[in-house]
């Protein structure tokens, strides 16, 4: 009976995935409650003889992957997989799977919530009341009538654009692979990144981290934004050079930021991001609502069963391009 390890606390049973895996012939193993699989040395020891791992953002680097001699599949509940060394998985014939199409509505709603919160002066106004400061209530710009720039109009960016059309804003987008029909239907204007940065009142990031997008938001690109601009990142922390962002927020070069993702998660207690009253933070939770959670854990379990049965659910597989003869058992 093949062994599956579940490392992410949010994915620990109960849940429908557990029964799907058991019915599919898997032995499901859980980590002890007092261990931290985010630590490389702990994760390496945990994997042991597991043939598949269902993971969150645990660090599956080359050291982990090459040391896991029985491992055949790394399964991510979600669409991002930058915590997995995909090249190392290619080299060792390990399949990397994700759960596409399960959380785009959740992320879009979270990004919109952050925009609206920042536009109404949060978190600073919340702190003003909680800390018994004098109440200062300068009038703020109305969200309706603003320009929202979406950087990356894929599945999540489109879900955000669909929600924005009812809020009387202008939506512009930068997208390397534009969908003309979608843009026409929802009145979205495609433009260059530079133009988007200079025109937008709100900028929402929805790109993966690649060699081209790493540190996309930096001193240079921040300098192209309006001083009143507000930046939202529900994608990946690596898109932003955080020291440059802190400098821009401190100096007033831009007005505010909403971050669901950071380079170091969770941040250390002395992280400067935590000291900024014009940054609204959340704990990498944008993609997690009840429906998204249910759909992703079901999909990841069903995909693992399909692989074990000899099927190839290519829509969920992000690596091993061109491979046609992969088998669960080597």
Catalytic residues: 236, 265, 284
**By three-state DSSP, how is residue 301 classified?**
helix
Per-residue tokens: 319: 């690596």
Phi/psi for 298 (5° steps) reads -65, -45
Q: How far is CA 49 from CA 29, 53, 82, 190, 328, in A?
A: 11, 10, 24, 49, 14
Residues 6+ apart with CB under 8 A from 240: 205, 215, 216, 217, 218, 231, 233, 259, 263
Distance CA 328, CA 95 (A): 9
Distance CA 233, CA 117 (A): 14
């Amino acid at each position: 009976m093949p062994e599956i390890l579940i490392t992410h606390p949010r994915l620990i049973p109960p849940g429908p995935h557990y029964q799907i895996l058991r019915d599919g012939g898997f032995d499901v193993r859980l980590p002890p409650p007092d261990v931290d699989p985010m630590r490389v040395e702990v994760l390496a020891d945990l994997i042991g003889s597991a043939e598949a791992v269902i993971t969150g953002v645990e660090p599956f680097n080359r050291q982990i992957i090459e040391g896991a001699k029985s491992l055949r599949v790394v399964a991510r509940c979600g669409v991002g997989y930058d915590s997995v060394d995909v090249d190392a998985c290619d080299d060792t014939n390990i399949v990397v799977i994700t759960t596409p199409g399960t959380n785009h509505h959740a992320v879009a709603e979270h990004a919109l919530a952050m925009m609206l919160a920042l536009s109404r002066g949060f978190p600073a106004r919340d702190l003003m009341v909680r800390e018994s400061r004098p109440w200062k209530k300068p009038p703020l710009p109305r969200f309706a009538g603003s320009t929202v720039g979406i950087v990356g109009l894929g599945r999540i960016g489109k879900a955000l654009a669909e929600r924005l059309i009812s809020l009387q804003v202008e939506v512009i987008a930068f997208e390397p692979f534009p969908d003309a029909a979608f843009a026409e239907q929802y009145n979205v204007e495609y433009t260059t990144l530079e133009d988007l940065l200079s025109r937008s009142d709100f900028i929402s990031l929805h790109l993966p981290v690649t060699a081209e997008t790493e540190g996309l938001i930096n001193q240079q690109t921040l300098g192209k934004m309006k001083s009143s601009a507000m930046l939202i990142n529900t994608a990946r922390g690596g898109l932003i050079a955080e020291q440059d962002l802190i400098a821009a927020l401190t100096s007033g070069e831009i007005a505010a930021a909403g971050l669901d993702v950071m380079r170091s998660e969770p941040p250390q207690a002395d992280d400067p991001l935590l000291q900024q009253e014009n940054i609204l933070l959340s704990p990498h939770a944008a993609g997690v609502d009840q429906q998204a959670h249910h759909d992703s854990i079901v999909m990841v379990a069903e995909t693992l069963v399909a692989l074990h049965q000899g099927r190839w659910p290519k829509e969920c597989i992000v690596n091993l391009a061109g491979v046609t003869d992969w088998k669960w058992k080597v």
